[in-house]
Chain A
Amino acid sequence: MKTKAATWECALPEADVGNMTQMAELLMDDETFAGFYQRTARPLWAYLARVSGNAALANDLLQESYLRLLSATFTADGEVACRRYLFRIATNLLRDHWRHPVSASLEELPEGALAACDSRVFERMDSKELLGRAFVRMRPRERQLLWLAYAEGSTHREIAEITGLGATSIRLLLFRARHKLARLLRRQNIEPKRGT
């Protein structure tokens, strides 16, 4: 007969302990997670840092995103789905961070409200100064959409899934945001590079 170790588990009903062990299982094992993390952490950090304009916040939200992903009861359907889910968690965390008692939506935040307190950090990162100050002058929602579409290469449907916006409105929002950023970039005398 198997004897039970003298732990707190002994004080709980048998069924609950079994259930708890099931609940305590993480989404991935250590090794799988290490690989997934290796492939996704830098893009996720870049997304968080660029959209929030705050590198320290990006560090915090990155860790929280992975912790929530691992603890989720989400049924992973391949790495692509996991990655999308991770970006969705990160997006929700960003929104929660920005949520104001009055304005709950990213749309309602004023331009430059989140303009990076550490924008100089990002300017240093842009060795070729392509984005320059233009990106921090965009609304957070615009930054989010542009980053997902053109930096991450996500489709409209994926962006809708990550941001929680309607798939049909993505095209229009993206068009406006892109037009605005292009105008701002041109004001900085930045033109498309036509090859080497």
Chain B
Amino acid sequence: MKLKFCSREEEAAAALLDEGWSDANDSELRAHIDECPHCMDVVLVAQALRQARIETARAATLPASGVLWWRAQIRRRSGAFERATRPIAVVEKLALVAVALGFACLAAWQWNQISDWVLQLTYLARPNTSLLDTLWTPFSGVSGWILASLIVSLGALALFGGLAIYLLVEKE
């Protein structure tokens, strides 16, 4: 395509935008447009687009401005709240990771007892085995305070772990 600009293109477009070609006072410009193929393109395209703009704008079904303003306010506030509470969310996640790690360490530390206890569960199917005796056997060699601390730790883990998960799920 041969690129040849006309210096009066913008003038032609502006005249059309302001007054409409037929009403343009500048007869010299009108004469130029009649002669210049580039300006004729400008007029053709501008007329079609201006007409389309009027028709399209008329067809729009718009929501009320108040609804948008209200929605923007809610979004802005929730964004600000999220930014302000971001450190809390980070601490929550760290707590969850710490709880999970603590649970894993405890499981590793007491692995022998846990595996023995799990194995003993298989004996539950036997009809002559007492349930309490079976569950107690792996812990029979452990001293009282270790057992108590184990139970307390497991309880605390369950409590805080559950709380942390609840907070995260609720947030999302």
Contacts and interface: CB of A to CB of B under 8 A. Distances in A.
How many residues of B sit at the interface, in one of the four size bands? 35 or more
Given A23-B76, A191-B44, A195-B21, A150 B50 contact: yes
Interface string A15-49: 01101100111100010011001100111011001
A66 B68 contact: yes
A130 B52 contact: yes
Contact of A178 (B45, B58, B69, B81): B45
Contacts of B81: 8, 20
Given A46-B56, A66-B72, A125-B55, A12 B49 contact: no
A89 interface: no
Contacts of B52: 46, 50, 122, 125-126, 130-131, 135, 151
A150 B55 contact: no
27 contacts: A20-B84, A23-B83, A26-B72, A33-B68, A37-B65, A41-B65, A42-B57, A45-B56, A45-B60, A46-B52, A49-B56, A55-B59, A67-B68, A70-B73, A125-B52, A130-B48, A130-B51, A135-B52, A147-B53, A150-B46, A153-B17, A172-B3, A175-B3, A179-B41, A185-B44, A185-B48, A190-B48
A46 B45 contact: no
Interface string B93-131: 000000000000000000000000000000000000000
Interface residues of A, number: 65
A179 B1 CA distance: 10
A26 B53 contact: no
Contacts of A191: 44
Contacts of A120: none
A56 B83 CA distance: 32
Contacts of B17: 150, 153
Interface string B13-55: 1100100111100000000000000001111111111111101
B22 to A, nearest CB: 3
B45 A182 contact: yes
B77 to A, nearest CB: 5
B50 A12 contact: no
B5 interface: yes
Question: Which of B13, B48, B52, B77: most chain A Cβ within 10 A?
Answer: B48
A190 B44 contact: yes
Counting from the closest, the 6 A-B pairs by CB-CB distance are A195-B22, A70-B72, A46-B56, A42-B57, A37-B65, A130-B48
Interface of B: 1, 3, 5, 13-14, 17, 20-23, 40-53, 55-63, 65-66, 68-69, 71-73, 75-77, 79-81, 83-85
A38 B117 CA distance: 73
A26 B69 contact: yes
A191 B48 CA distance: 10
